[in-house]
Copies of this chain bind each other. A is one copy, B any other.
Amino acid sequence: MSIKAPEIPYKIYLSEEELPYSWYNMRADMKVKPAPLLNPATGAPMSAEELGGVFCAELVEQELDNDTAYIPIPREIRDFYKMYRPSPLVRAYCLEQKLDTPAHIYYKFEGNNTSGSHKLNSAIAQAYYAKKQGLRGVTTETGAGQWGTALSMACAYLGLDCKVFMVKVSYEQKPFRREVMRTYGADVTPSPSPTTAVGRKILEEFPGTTGSLGCAISEAVEVAVSNPGYRYVLGSVLNQVLLHQSVIGLEAKTALDKYGVKPDVIIGCAGGGSNLGGLIAPFMGEKLRGEADYRIIAVEPASCPSFTRGRFAYDFCDTGKICPLAKMYTLGSGFIPSPNHAGGLRFHGMSSTLSQLYHDGLMEARAVEQTSVFEAAELFARVEGILPAPESSHAIRVAIDEALRCRETGEAKDILFGLTGTGYFDLTAYQKFNDGAMSDYIPTDEDLARGFAGLPQVPGQD
């Protein structure tokens, strides 16, 4: 019950002045740059002009910029960040004690804002550039709803119209997420919908469909390109998103540096890669420049194992196959995790930047099964007082495993992981776990072969 007096506080809060003034762009320090996006029709790299029809101009610049290491955070975005940042870096004293480990565990907690996750860091940036460009609004898709909520909040703040296509099954099963977005003034449409050509076509072909992220992307892009003053925005995968999310890692590093702590292991969950890419950014920078070494572990669900069992190949980012091709670790754009999968991180591919880093041996990856993830989540909730998002709990799982290994070896390693968000809107999954009704699923090689069969033909593709 009693805990020894810590030299390092339970929570390290930076001052607002210590909030970074620039984002850090890992690509600038990468010897092998991530492969460019390709136009699926021509197989040629996408030009800024081509991308500018879909994305905001300044975001396209960031997307294509492989050279500038530090990109200033505009004053307006930094002011918005101050509403919920710097986020706390927590020393998990209670978890350490519970595990009886000599390891020191730290987590960067991004859930203390109403979007419930780190997604707000990029949402406000993307909304800001849209506003600056004089646009009327933005469109996007959302699955579980974290990204849609974050974007709604950012748009409400800036007075920008926000149209969200929400996967129909989530729209119906997560009415509360939908209400948060509506409270922030967003226009939320269940996808597929009769409001777009692609939606009508899908509804005609599959009248009973409950929708998919790929379909929602298609609808959001259609609305963006066919309405003057609108652009499409995306919450993960893209280089620009990893750039914005670097604020997570920059703050974490500043906080650790204050106490002279150099993490031995850095752990993050990986779906599209936005949180992991943000958390590791400045550490990976040091590693790329040969200034320091860190062990970096990406954690993914065993049921959607893009890093650990995927192919490093050009693929579509969406199941609708209307987006540019990205070179990444992928399970094929047709891959869909088993329906019993409850823990998020269900994207078939992975950020091109992280894929390249992984390919070049600069980071590891580990796949974990969901019952063990929820066991870690429950333990964490009970001792650290935060109900974690299922996504974040993948990182918790591996952090606990590493800490338990330290108990065996007696090593006092410093472990840092990203706690991306809270699980307040994921209680259906927790209920399944509490009821003992959660099961695991690992795709067979045949399952994966079906996904790989859909990889596009691109010159140079293996």
Contacts and interface: CB of A to CB of B under 8 A. Distances in A.
Interface of A: 1-3, 9-11, 13, 15-16, 75-76, 79-80, 82-84, 94, 112-114, 116, 120, 131, 153, 156-158, 175-176, 179-180, 182-185, 378, 381-387, 422, 424-425, 427-428, 430-431, 433-434
Given A112-B112, A179-B430, A10 B384 contact: no
A431 B16 contact: no
Contacts of A386: 113-114
A179 B431 contact: yes
Contact of A158 (B1, B11, B381, B427): B1
B76 A1 contact: yes
A116 B113 CA distance: 12
A382 B156 contact: yes
Contacts of A382: 153, 156-157, 184-185
Contacts of A156: 381-382
Contact of A114 (B157, B175, B422, B433): B422
Contact of A385 (B11, B75, B76, B84): B84
Given A2-B75, A10-B82, A183-B430, 11 more contacts: A2-B76, A9-B15, A9-B16, A10-B16, A156-B382, A175-B431, A176-B424, A176-B428, A179-B430, A183-B378, A424-B425
A381 B184 contact: yes
Nearest to A16: B9
Judged by DSSP, the binding face of A is helix
Contacts of A113: 385-386
20 contacts: A1-B131, A10-B82, A10-B83, A13-B13, A80-B385, A83-B384, A84-B385, A112-B112, A113-B386, A157-B383, A157-B385, A176-B424, A176-B427, A176-B428, A179-B427, A180-B387, A180-B424, A182-B434, A183-B430, A424-B425
Nearest to A424: B424
A9 B82 contact: yes
A145 to B, nearest CB: 12
Contact of A427 (B3, B79, B175, B427): B175
Contact of A183 (B179, B183, B387): B387
Contacts of A434: 179, 182-183
Given A76-B1, A76-B2, A425-B424, A83 B385 contact: yes
Contact of A82 (B11, B175, B180, B184): B11
A114 B9 contact: no
A80 to B, nearest CB: 8
Nearest to A3: B79
A378 B156 CA distance: 10
The 9 closest A-B pairs by CB, nearest first: A176-B427, A10-B82, A156-B382, A179-B427, A114-B387, A424-B424, A83-B385, A13-B13, A179-B431
A114 B385 contact: yes
Contacts of A182: 430-431, 434
A10 B16 CA distance: 8
Nearest to A131: B1
Contacts of A175: 427, 431
Nearest to A433: B183
Given A179-B434, A431-B179, A11 B16 contact: yes
A418 to B, nearest CB: 18
A262 to B, nearest CB: 23
Nearest to A422: B114
A425 B177 CA distance: 11
A424 B434 CA distance: 21
Nearest to A114: B387
A100 to B, nearest CB: 15
A170 to B, nearest CB: 15
Contacts of A157: 94, 382-383, 385
A428 B179 CA distance: 8
Contacts of A2: 75-76, 79
A139 B431 CA distance: 22
Contacts of A153: 382, 385
A93 B343 CA distance: 37
